[in-house]
Amino acid sequence: MLSMVKKFFDFCNEKNRNKFYKSVVLGVIDAMFAAMKIPAAFVAIKAILENNLTNTTILTVIGLMLVSTLGKMVINRFAYMLQTEAGYDTCAMKRIEIGEHLRYLPMGYFNDTSLGHITSVTTNTMEQTGDIATRAIMLVLQGGLTTIVIALFMFAFDWRIGLISVAGIGVFFLVNKWTNLSVARVADEKLSADREMVGVILEYIQGIAEIRNYNIIGQNQSKVQKSIERKKKADIAAEIAAIPAVGVQNLICKLIGVVIAGVSVYFYLTGTMELVYTIVMLLSSFMIFESLDTCGIYTALLKVIGKGVDLANEILNIEQMDIDGADFKPENRDIHLEHVGFAYENRKIIDDVTLDIKENTTTAIVGPSGGGKTTITSLIARFWDVQEGKVTLGGRDVKDYSFDSLMENFSFVFQRVYLFEDTIANNIRFGKPEATMDEVIEAAKKAACHEFIMGLPDKYETVVGEGGATLSGGEKQRIAIARAIMKDAPIIILDEATANVDPENEKELTQAIENLTKQKTIIMIAHRLKTVRNADQIIVVDKGKIVQKGRHEELMEQDGIYKNFITGRKQAVSWKIA
């Protein structure tokens, strides 16, 4: 029990940990106020039995009860507020910390780990941990502390009953350990079911268009239903595992209270305990385990807190890329890859690639699908770290740069654009958060998206759906270009930026790209002849190697992948339906 509490305290930052420590101190004071009912009862009963109930005695008893009740109310309020603030703030800050940590993880982590797992940890798991921590920790600590203080008071009245109380507490915690073990056996399955359900539902929603197009709704609905059914069974199993154990705990508390009451009566009948002490012990037998019973119910939830902490730490303990370089500003933006090699899961993706990209030139990368084109651009921008050779920017190894200072040199426009569920203006401002509205509009005009934005209901304040779901593909692409224009980085990486654009948007998108790429270093992955033919150099990549390099005219004079690629494209364009 205490190990779970300590694990959560260690999970907190120093500010929130101190709040919890203060709440523990307040908990001790609260327990002392609760235990004051025993001396109040003793004074009242003794006066009644001795027929000496004076006004002073009555005032003393009332005073003790008022101090006990009011003291608990005040202390409880402050302790509860401290724990509530610390619990929720801890989980909120951990979400932010996880988000920051994910920024600097190798991209392989996102290939190996489902979006559902990450989403589940940062949403469901952290939400549950915050909710439970604010209640369970307070009630567990408060119950334990109150029981211990009342047991000490009982020692003061009769050491024999005090020993029985301590023995009873020991038996209770043995049973409680069994309870925790019972819950632990199903806790992993419960959390695993949570993660699976979130992942399956996300996959279903993201792929709804394909599911409908290929009429595979029944199959995917079945997958969703199975994950929900698994989650339901895991939740029920967790309850079934906890209920018998909690019931036994409750029974133990009641039985020990009965034992204390019975022994107290026995001591009175044998003449070894005065009547006033016997009555007080009888009252105390009902009080001592009341708080402990509540404590026992909530200790099972500490396992959930512990598992939540473990899952969050599992992500936070994944080794980040080395991002602690210096904040360099390169003298030029020449890019050089020297004998670069990269493998993923023992599969060679890039093999001994050497490449020079001069500042303010355009480099087109073409080749068969899966040949390594996107991986090369990812290594240049350090989304991955090379395993062999090195990549330099301005003559300096990209690993020497701090990650943020390196990213200042790059803007990206990907084939699949992601827009955040926010206003169009704020989506453009991601390239420059402090930008004024005039700057936003200027970037939008250069990206050829000002006109369609002005036709939207709220113009630049129109909120786009998550992922940009309320906009067409071409519109999303142009907003992404506006974002890149706003950033105004000297190196632009275009990854199939025009591959899936419909013809009516192609002209506007082409113009937007021209505005984006003026006087920049351009690295583009492209399949269209008119996109690559004017490049300063064309790199043909196949099976992780550069197999051809040169300008369009040079490569067309060589037999090889590029000539075949261009010839095939020309033939496709000339096809007509008879």
Report the alpha-carbon distance of residue 22 to residue 28 in Å, rounded: 10
More confident call, 146 vs 116: 146
Q: What pLDDT band is residue 574 in, cutting at 50, 70 and 90?
A: very low
User: Which of 61-70, 90-99, 121-130 tops mean pLDDT?
Assistant: 61-70
Task: Using alpha carbons, select from 437, 436, 435, 430 the residue that is nearest to residue 453.
Answer: 437
Per the structure block, which two tokens stand in for 421? 């569920």
Long-range contacts of 290-294 (CB under 8 A, 24+ apart): 290/253, 291/34, 291/142, 291/143, 291/144, 291/146, 291/147, 291/150, 292/143, 292/144, 292/146, 292/147, 292/169, 292/172, 292/253, 293/143, 293/249, 293/250, 293/253, 294/139, 294/143
Tell me: pLDDT of 132 over 60: yes
Confidence of residue 559 (pLDDT cuts 50, 70, 90): confident
Contact 497, 528 (CB under 8 A): no
The verdict on pTM exceeding 0.75 is no
Strands 335-344 and 521-525, how do they pair? unpaired
pLDDT for 143 beyond 50: yes
> Which residues does 446 contact at the CB level (< 8 Å), separation at least 6?
482, 485, 512, 515, 516
Average pLDDT, the chain: 77
Burial class (CB in 10 A: 0-12, 13-18, 19+), 248: middle
Residues 428-467: tens digit of each pLDDT: 887 778 888 888 888 888 877 888 888 888 888 888 766 5
Q: Distance (Å, rounded) from C-alpha 549 to C-alpha 191?
A: 52
Lowest mean pLDDT among 44-48, 351-355, 490-494, 573-577: 573-577
Average pLDDT over residues 84-93: 82
**What CATH number belongs to 323-409+536-572?**
3.40.50.300
The SS3 assignment for 72 reads: helix
CA distance 420 to 452: 18
d(CA 127, CA 133): 10
Which tokens in the block code for residue 575?
């096809």
Element spanning 49, H or E: helix 37-49
Q: So what's the pLDDT on residue 575?
A: 42
Q: pLDDT, tens digit, for every residue of 276-310?
A: 888 888 888 877 777 677 676 667 667 667 777 77
Predicted pLDDT of residue 445: 84
Q: Please give the residue that has the higher pLDDT: either 154 or 301.
A: 154
CA distance linking residue 558 with residue 551, whole number of Å: 11
Does position 264 have pLDDT exceeding 50, yes or no? yes
User: Where along the chain do its domains lie?
Assistant: 2-316, 323-409+536-572
CATH 1.20.1560.10 fits 2-316, yes or no: yes
Residue 369 DSSP SS3: coil
Record the tokens describing residue 126, joined without a space. 């952290």
Handedness of CA 270, 275, 281, 282 (dihedral sign): positive
Q: How high is the pLDDT of residue 528?
A: 65
CA 208 to each of CA 125, 203, 324, 423: distance values in angstroms, whole numbers, following the listed order: 26, 8, 41, 24
The pLDDT of 306-326, averaged and rounded, is 74
Q: Which residue shows structure tokens 């419960």? A: 190
Which residue in 382, 569, 577 sits closest to 491, CA to CA? Answer: 382
Please name which of 80, 88, 294, 73 lies closest in space to residue 176, comparing C-alpha atoms: 294
In order of 158, 340, 384, the CA distances from 492 in angstroms are: 82, 21, 18
Helix (H, G, I), strand (E, B) or coil at 541: strand
The answer to which of 428-437, 493-502, 536-545, 548-557 has the lowest mean pLDDT is 493-502
pLDDT at 435: 82
Read off the pLDDT of residues 478-527 as tens digits, 9 standing for 90 and up: 888 888 888 888 888 887 655 555 555 556 666 666 666 677 888 888 76
pLDDT of residue 31: 79
Task: Give pLDDT, residue 576.
Answer: 44
Q: What is the mean pLDDT of residues 551-570?
A: 76
Give the sheet arrangement for strand 410-414, strand by strand.
Answer: 410-414, 491-495, 521-525, 362-366, 537-542, 545-550
Give the mean pLDDT of 390-411. Answer: 83
Query: In degrees to the nearest 10, what's the CA dihedral of 406, 412, 415, 416?
Result: 80
